[in-house]
Structure 1
Amino acid sequence: MKNNSSIKEFWPALRFVLIFAGVYFIGNILYGLYIEYYYPLADPMTIWVTHQVVFIVNLFGESASSVVSESEPIVYFRKLDEATGMSKTVLRVFEGCNGLNVVIVFIAFIVAFGGNVKRVMIFIASGCLILHFFNLLRIILLYYTALNRPHFFYYFHKYIFTAFLYLVVFGLWILWTRMKSKQDAAIS
């Protein structure tokens, strides 16, 4: 009898972990199939994200362009050197830069934590837009890091800006848990 009460006691946490793992696993399988479908070329999301970043930096006076590789899953982020008229590659954007993996982790948590379906869907859509915005900001900052402080690029790419993006995810998770707690308290 004690085992049965232990399962009941831990069921909410176990349920969360199972749903999170299931959504995360399915999301990653679908993402992998999506990437493989376009291989050996870059996927449309990576191309779209790179085009957006180029558009934004050009608003700030840069002479940037993006070139989709015809043989690799890379989008080259290039800058025109106005003195020579030549362009040079500043960044190589791969599928991991498109932000979809971060979105999968975010969605898995929100779905696992649960809530009113309409509110969950609205929060997921809003969160995806916020994450997309911060991912664009991350790539813009990486562009300027590569241009101005290339010796810091690896560190900023691997650690600082990746941590920054996951802190945004964590902040959204906290916001969702607080919103849901208030909603649950109002219902009680």
Structure 2
Amino acid sequence: MKNTINQHKPFFLFLVKFILFYLVFTLIYKFYLNQFNAEKNEVDGITEFVANKTKNTLVFFGKDCVIKKHELEASYKVLYYDKYLARIIEGCNAISVIILFASFVFAFSAKFKNTFLFILFGSALVFQLNIFRIALLTVGLYKYPEYKEFLHNIVFPVMIYGVVFALWIVWVIKFSTYAKRDK
């Protein structure tokens, strides 16, 4: 058993670092979310920020968009040209995706500065792309309502997870300690 652990030490180190980072930041995020009462339709500040930035993005591109707090649930309604097309809930704010992204990068960590900066840059990129993703989804739902499920469940998740995957590849190949070993 000890020989197996020593033989696969990099894998086990990766796994422990990934799980610890993921659990710690997921618990911090859950603690943050517990401050808001979903039964009273309270929306967390990050989701509210994403909703407002989505509206600002659409308005910037000359589109008519209004964000309204939902009366019956903890979410924001997206009204695009006076048509209620979508709602932005906590799961739309990309924080869970960012925690997953950062956990992987941390698990393959290099120097602290490089790891921290890559997580910071990558998280900001994923967060901003998520806002564009929601804005594009809104436009897509308006123009192609018959493809609602396809757009929401396939096209746009692939977009955000594709970027995360590409960032992971860049991290492992260019910056991680494993990239340094091959040189």
Q: Do these two structures clear the TM 0.5 threshold for a shared fold by scoring above it?
A: yes
In structure 2, runs of 5+ residues without a counterpart are none
Residue type of the alignment partner of 2:138? Y
1:17 to 10, 15, 22: 15
Equivalents in 1 of 2:35, 2:100: separation in Å?
22
Per-residue CA distance 1:28-67 (angstroms, 9 max, x = gap): 2222222221122111111111111111111222111111
Normalising by structure 2, we get a TM-score of 0.90
1:64 matched to 2:55? The reply is: no
CA root-mean-square deviation: 1.6
1:137 matched to 2:132? The reply is: yes
How much has 1:182 moved relative to structure 2?
Answer: 4.5
In structure 1, runs of 5+ residues without a counterpart are 81-86
How much has 1:90 moved relative to structure 2?
Answer: 1.7
Equivalents in 2 of 1:60, 1:150: separation in Å?
21
CA contact (8 A) 2:80 2:142 kept: no
Identity %: 26
CA contact (8 A) 1:131 1:165 kept: yes
Computing the radius of gyration from Cα coordinates, the structure with the larger value is 1
Paired residues for 1:1-188 under 5 Å: 3-40=1-38, 41-69=42-70, 72-80=73-81, 87-179=82-174, 180=176, 181-184=178-181
Equivalents in 1 of 2:160, 2:80: separation in Å?
25
Number of residue-to-residue matches in the alignment: 178
Q: Counterpart of 1:83?
A: none
Question: Tell me, what secondary structure is at the counterpart of 2:85?
Answer: strand
CA contact (8 A) 1:24 1:104 kept: yes
CA contact (8 A) 1:42 1:69 kept: no
